[in-house]
Chains A and B, each alone.
Chain A
Amino acid sequence: MTNEEPQQTESPPARPLATLASTQSPNQQLRKTLEDTLAKVHPNTPFEIGETKTDVNLHCPPEHFAALVTTLKERKELAFDMLRNMSGVDYEEGLTCAYHFYSFAHNYSLQVTVKCPPDNTHIPSLTGLYAAALWHEREAAEMFGFVFDGHPNLKNLLLEEDLNIHPLLKAHPLAKPEILQGIEESKPGFDF
């Protein structure tokens, strides 16, 4: 015998409150607008539209990146006017840079990923479009070895100025003992 009656109002909801409330999920309206607009404006550009757990994801090669972002910013129906975050990722297939844009007019959030070919880490700089990119690109450049073409001042930001390492690459070791001057035979300092 099973009780078919719906639960009483006193009992707690089946799913927690927060799960019902969370709106940080891919926006289907944005996805449709994005597909329509890009197919119209950039008919010959190879791009893919996918989804992460929270955002619509637009994937494009580096050579078409600057043109696509200009469209994202200029078109009224998209109007992505803020670059909120940038992060490099060291995938096994190659270095990828993920950009997170936000549109205040439509409350849209979009992730754009740019995958570099293995031997070429050049990506066009966004500093001309978004001033926020200045420090984000410096950080990604020092941590992963990206080269942002057009950046006015691409020197180290968080690391020491003369340190030429890229610590967030998977090949880079987490820790290494320092060679002390006068005690060990080798050259003093860190040898990465």
Chain B
Amino acid sequence: MTVWPDTREGTLDVGGFETVDMTINVGPQHPSTHGVFRMVLTVDGERVVDAEPYIGYLHRGLEKLTENSDYRQSMGWWDRTDYLAGMCCEGAYCMAVEKLAGIEVPDRAEYIRVIMMELSRINSHFMFFGAFGADLGSFGTSFVYGWRERERIYDLFEEVAGDRMFPTYFRPGGLTMDLPDNFEHRCRWVLSSVRQGLEDFDGLLTGNEIFVERCRDLSPVTQEQAINWGLTGPMIRATGLKWDIRRAEPYSIYPHLKFEIPVGRQGDVFDRFMVRMAEAYQSSRIIEQCLDEMPRSGLVLNPDLPTTLRVPAGECYLRTEGTKGEYSVHAISDGSNKAYRMKLRSPAFCNLSALREMVIGTYVADAIIILGSLDIVLGEVDK
């Protein structure tokens, strides 16, 4: 039995009654847990006293499978980590292999990669807006607005690579194939649609008094806490720390591109939402620049690669800014055609590990919102 420093007004005086803590199981099959995530909440009335997250329901042994597959065969596994942004995962994996093997990527392929990675980021953020609105009780409406843009982006992926969610479009050294002829026109149309979608969400959620009242000042996180817990991505930028791996430790062609790093003020749930809104807009700016500046023709795959890729012995820790945070790959090769060790640093895994600290002391309904604001993808958490 925990005694809370009660800040509520009009507290009920229970007098001679004894109160007991209750244990509630949330998930693993519950729409508000965003997949197969389970947490056991101990509650005192409506207050969360303790929370114990349980993960691993989607554990597929990604790292063991990668150690046992050829470098190009493993591509398909890595798509399935962050399945809302498959291209970002492919990018990180390919760049790690390229770093180890010293493979150069043609410029046109780099531009196309950045376009695809940023489209994935927009897609993932729109999915977040929709699901987050659903967590707050607007099931249906916000979800459908999110899915509208998502389907347009997935249609684009399907035209480019032949698959929606798991395109397997990247290869160590470049891309599987060049863009279709009408891509630029289609992509600009999708971008205008994305900006319209952002405005719609702005009107639907940001301007909604109920939404703002429920999110503002909920579970504020300081910069010191965020660093200590290992939060990355929009979670740490919401606290006001201007740290984005695309700028701090740049990779690919990001140093040549102009974009802002949006930050929040106090790291509460509302800031996390707003940072993602601003990021989706910046991603659309990046894509426009790439469409303007990219070489109009040229190779998209390094032509000097052998049929069987043997990567010289070495070790690297390649950092990329995934959609949820720092998506990094710790790769070790021993000179054979298979990775000796390939460790995924999953951003959602690290963000989720701080959930317990964030929800303790809040109401049960708010705990669901805080979980939603972390924007977890269980494929990435469970590997």
| Chain A residues engaging chain B, CB cutoff 8 angstroms | 12, 15-19, 21-24, 52-55, 57, 81-85, 87, 89-90, 98, 100, 104, 107, 109, 111, 130-132, 134-136, 143, 156-160, 167-168, 172, 174
Contact = CB atoms under 8 A, between A and B. Distances in A.
Given A87-B341, A158-B56, A104 B241 contact: yes
B345 interface: yes
A68 B107 CA distance: 42
B227 A81 contact: yes
Given A16-B105, A53-B316, 9 more contacts: A17-B110, A21-B254, A23-B250, A53-B314, A100-B330, A132-B353, A143-B63, A157-B55, A168-B64
28 contacts: A17-B107, A17-B110, A17-B253, A21-B252, A21-B255, A23-B250, A24-B251, A24-B318, A53-B99, A53-B100, A53-B315, A53-B316, A54-B99, A54-B316, A81-B228, A83-B230, A87-B330, A98-B330, A100-B328, A100-B345, A130-B230, A134-B353, A135-B349, A156-B56, A157-B56, A158-B55, A160-B56, A168-B67
B127 interface: no
Nearest to A153: B52
B59 interface: yes
Contacts of B357: 131
B170 to A, nearest CB: 13
B232 interface: yes
B99 A167 contact: no
Contacts of B375: none
Task: List 8 tightest A-B contacts by C-beta distance, closest first.
Answer: A132-B230, A87-B343, A53-B316, A135-B353, A158-B56, A85-B345, A52-B315, A21-B255
A18 B105 contact: yes
B382 A158 contact: yes
B228 A159 contact: no
A104 B227 contact: yes
Nearest to B229: A131
B237 interface: no
Contacts of B332: 89
A106 B68 CA distance: 38
A84 B107 contact: no
Contacts of B107: 12, 16-18
B261 interface: no
Interface in B41-98: 55-56, 59, 61, 63-65, 67-68
What's the dominant secondary structure at chain A's contact region? Answer: loop
Contacts of A136: 350
A188 B236 CA distance: 47
Interface residues of B, number: 56
B326 interface: yes
Interface string B243-256: 10000111111111
A83 B228 CA distance: 8
A172 B55 CA distance: 22
A55 B329 CA distance: 13
A18 B251 contact: yes
A170 B383 CA distance: 18
A28 B314 CA distance: 19
Contact of A174 (B56, B64, B256): B64
B63 A168 contact: yes
B288 interface: no
Contact of A22 (B232, B251, B326): B251
A84 B326 contact: yes
Given A54-B316, A158-B382, A85 B99 contact: no
B260 interface: no
A16 B107 CA distance: 6
B253 A52 contact: no
A24 B99 contact: yes
Contact of B317 (A15, A111, A132, A157): A111
B59 A159 contact: yes
A131 B228 contact: yes
B167 interface: no
A84 B253 contact: no
B125 interface: no
Given A21-B255, A22-B250, A104-B241, A82 B104 contact: no
B319 interface: yes
A87 B345 CA distance: 9
Contact of A52 (B67, B317, B383): B317
A57 B315 CA distance: 10
Interface in B327-369: 328, 330, 332, 340-341, 343, 345, 349-350, 352-354, 357
Contacts of A131: 228-230, 354, 357
B256 A21 contact: yes
Given A24-B318, A52-B314, A19 B330 contact: no
B317 to A, nearest CB: 5
B68 A174 contact: yes
B80 to A, nearest CB: 15
